[in-house]
Amino acid sequence: MKLFALLCTAAATMAAPALGDTAATAVALKATMAKTPIDSVTCGLPGGLCEVVSGKNVFYTDPSAKVLVIGHVYDLTEHTDLTERKLAQLQGVVAASDGKAVTRNGVGASAVAADADRISLNGLSPAGAVEWGPADGPRVAIFTDYHCPYCRALVHELEGLGVHVTEYPISILGTRAVAEQVICAPDKVRAMRDAYAGVPLASRSCDTHGLDDNEAFARRHGFSETPIIVRSDGAVLRGFRESAVLGTWIAGAGR
């Protein structure tokens, strides 16, 4: 079984002794991550991973508890998002046999289920955002990192859908300085495109408190990977999706 992740994440190395069973892995994690509630640990996943559940969040470690992996894990043989399937169980959604997600009342979700809990973007500052796309298009917000290739791919997909995007950069991959250069640029949209393309940006100074707001918001809502997509009604979708899936999901706002 082949595995692949379509989110950009930060991997953290943790000091722990070599362990060989689920119980020992759970003990090591709880000792190392004392402030993180660990609800369950299940080892023996494909690729030697252990699945860790903390509230409504899912992440992974190796049996020795030396590596933390945050992101979605895909079974490329079965074309199944293993993480989304687990999140669906935690959020009151059941996965259909075709790999899509179906809510318990029978309403289908495009490709995968969005977070059951909707969020409000109130309180986020326009000073920390880049606005782009047609002003009269359907509204969507995204949380991105400028070194995340899946964020760049998502931007490309959204551009083809004619939506109006409010993009909130957050630093998952150590890109705070790049985000500041984008926010301080006289043409934020051009700077955003250059940042994704790896074009060096001019260093400028400005008020970057909006980026602080973005980071704090992401921490409060457990956004530890990118991209994160938020629909106009507050529904949340984690990870890259192609335009066909995105279009259907965005059109479902308010339903």
List, for residues 229-243, the tens digit of each pLDDT value: 999 999 999 888 888
Same domain, 42 and 141: no
Written as six digits, the tokens of 247 are: 């279009």
Residue 163 or 255, more confident: 163
Q: What is the DSSP letter of 147?
A: T
Same domain, 107 and 191: no
The stretch 198-211 carries a mean pLDDT of: 95
The stretch 101-113 carries a mean pLDDT of: 34
Q: Using alpha carbons only, what angle is made at residue 175 by residues 145 and 164, rounded to the nearest 5 degrees?
A: 35
Mean per-residue pLDDT over the chain, rounded: 81
CA distance 185 to 98: 45
Same domain, 106 and 174: no
What is the tens place of the pLDDT at every residue in 143-198? 999 998 889 999 999 999 999 999 999 998 889 999 999 999 999 999 999 999 99
Sign of the C-alpha dihedral computed for residues 107, 224, 153 and 212 taken in this order: positive
pLDDT at 10: 57
CA nearest to 220, candidates 88, 148, 123, 147: 123
| Owning domain of residue 176 | 126-251
Rounded to two decimals, the pTM is: 0.63
Same domain, 244 and 130: yes
Q: Using alpha carbons only, what angle is made at residue 227 by residues 131 and 93, rounded to the nearest 5 degrees?
A: 120
What is the tens place of the pLDDT at every residue in 57-97? 788 898 988 888 877 787 777 667 788 778 767 765 433 33
At 149, is the secondary structure helix, strand, or coil? helix
Q: How many alpha carbons lie under 13 Å from residue 60 in its C-beta half-sphere?
A: 24
Q: Does 113 have pLDDT greater than 60?
A: no
Q: Does 222 have pLDDT greater than 70?
A: yes
Instruction: Confirm whether 118 is domain-assigned.
Output: no
Q: Does 101 have pLDDT greater than 60?
A: no
Same domain, 139 and 246: yes
